[in-house]
Amino acid sequence: MLIVQKYGGTSVADLERIASIAKRIIRYREEDNDLVIVVSAMAGETDRLLNLAHSICKFPDERELDVLVSTGEQVVSALLAITLKNMLCDAMSLLGHQARIITDSSHTKARISRIEQDLIVSALNKGKVVVVPGFQGVDEKGNITTLGRGGSDTSAVALAAALNADVCEIYTDVDGVYTADPNICEKARRLDRISFEEMLEMASLGAKVLQIRSVEFAKRYNVPILVKSSFTDGEGTLVCKEVADMERMEVTGVTYNKNESKITVSKVPDKPGIASHIFTALSDAQIVVDVIVQNVSRENFTDITFTVANADGKKAYKLMEEVAGKVGAEKVAIDENIAKVSIVGLGMRSHAGVASKMFSVLAKEGINIEAITTSEIKISCVVEKKYGELAVRALHTAFGLDTGAVEEEK
């Protein structure tokens, strides 16, 4: 079998842990598997490097940021290859430009366009374990790029797709995908399986266990992902195509994202073209907008509210001040004190009343809803940040996730 394994930051946090994953890799190798190993930087290293750059100036050059932060993964790749060789397992590291992970040139959030796998394949054919640093790529001009926070997951799945691997295993500090973040909801349960669609929603709504783009790749190329713990042995969670016998509750999971800012442009003249003005300015700046609410018009004026990732908050605010000046809006306000709580599940398609149940659960807890957005398989509410975790736990209980479908049916 050809297996791609990815080890996250906590799994490679020090030499002891690197030695422990090396032993696991050797076990797989002894069973005659071909292995491509994708590694993250040591836990905390990417943040440390970013802080260094931001202590120099507020907006460090993004090309240079990529040169800087990609070193975290490079260090671990070399350390793992040295460890494997020291344990008499033939291994070789191939950096992003050597493994030919080609991306576009959007520094700090580049997208993989293709992988030219010749070098990897020839190393595998020589019996080597290939170690590739996650998160990094190279653009057509040879510049180092990075794939956005959590991007090593995407490196792994993209490699698995390009190499036509049998499975992509993601090793992390939890033993699978849970019905809610187990670190904030102690009653969360591990799911045996979850469909690509649901995982895609959960990842985009704050379940950082997998980076969203990794799930997009997996879905597009039908690469099954197995999420497992690098610390314990267990079955993990299989992320795969929807199958008929999957558990079908109204809701599969509850997610929580406290890394968004809410921006309100008030007293905007209510006439055609204004929303397009606002959102074109944001998309031209590559800022992804999430929840959008337009208030009912009062005397030909309206308020437009939307959320963006905290990382883009200040940039979006500045842009909106410019736009407000041009379109004659009264003022722009930014609120970082919010959290977005969401429920996700394919089961919503066939159950009525899910939204009203969510709203009444929040009301019962005295939590005010500031904005709402829905899709076929998710409902999100923006609430005050201090109520975010409480909301997750209340929804988890109300939708029967504490006990789970199987037990509930007995």
Helix (H, G, I), strand (E, B) or coil at 4: strand
Given a contact cutoff of 8 angstroms between Cβ atoms, the answer to whether 342 and 378 are in contact is yes
The reply to whether 177 sits near ligand ADP by the rule CB under 6 A is yes
Residue 173 contact partner, candidates Mg ion, ligand ADP, ligand ASP, none, CB within 5 to 8 A by sort of partner: ligand ADP
Q: Residue 355 is encoded by which pair of tokens? A: 């939204």
Position with the least CB separation from Mg ion: 150
Q: Which is nearer to ligand ADP, 207 or 274 (CB)?
A: 207
Query: CA 38, CA 131: separation in Å to the nearest integer?
Result: 6
183 binds ligand ADP (CB under 6 A): yes
Near ligand ADP in 122-161, by CB under 6 A: 150
Check residue 181 for interaction with ligand ADP (CB under 6 A): yes
Residue 209 near ligand ADP by CB under 6 A: yes
Chain positions contacting Mg ion, by CB under 5 A? 8, 150
- How far, CA to CA in Å, does 148 sit from each of 51, 75, 301, 340, 357? 16, 18, 38, 21, 35
Q: Which is nearer to ligand ADP, 230 or 302 (CB)?
A: 230
CB 112 within 8 A of CB 141: no
Which one of ligand ASP, ligand ADP, Mg ion, none interacts with residue 151, CB within 5 to 8 A by kind? ligand ASP
Angstrom distance (rounded) from CA 273 to CA 311: 27
Interface with ligand ADP, residue 169, by CB under 6 A: no
* Cα atoms in the Cβ-side hemisphere of radius 13 Å centred on 20: 15
User: Using CB under 6 A as the criterion, which residues of the chain lie in contact with ligand ASP when the complex forms?
Assistant: 8-9, 40-41, 46, 72, 134-135, 149-153
Q: Checking phi first, is residue 300 left (phi over 0); if not, alpha (psi -120 to 50) or beta?
A: left
Cα separation, 386 vs 365, whole angstroms = 12
Report how far residue 260's alpha carbon sits from residue 278's, in angstroms, rounded to the nearest whole number: 18
Q: How far is the CB of 48 from Mg ion (least distance, A)?
A: 16
Q: How many CB atoms lie within 10 A of CB 385?
A: 15
Judge whether 196 and 346 are in contact, CB under 8 Å. Answer: no
Nearest CB to ligand ASP, comparing residues 72 and 345: 72
The CB-of-185 to ligand ADP minimum distance in angstroms stands at 9
From the list 23-31, 171-179, 266-274, 369-377, the region that binds ligand ADP by CB under 6 A is: 171-179
Instruction: List the single partner that 10 binds among Mg ion, ligand ADP, ligand ASP, none, CB under 5 to 8 Å by kind.
Output: ligand ADP
* Count of other CB atoms within 10 angstroms of residue 39: 33
Q: Is 313 in the site for ligand ADP (CB under 6 A)?
A: no
For residue 247, state whether it binds ligand ADP (rule: CB under 6 A). no
Q: Residue from 5, 9, 135, 287 that binds ligand ADP (CB under 6 A)?
A: 9
Summarize as ranges the residues that interact with ligand ADP (CB under 6 A).
8-11, 40, 150, 172-174, 177-178, 180-183, 202, 207-209, 253
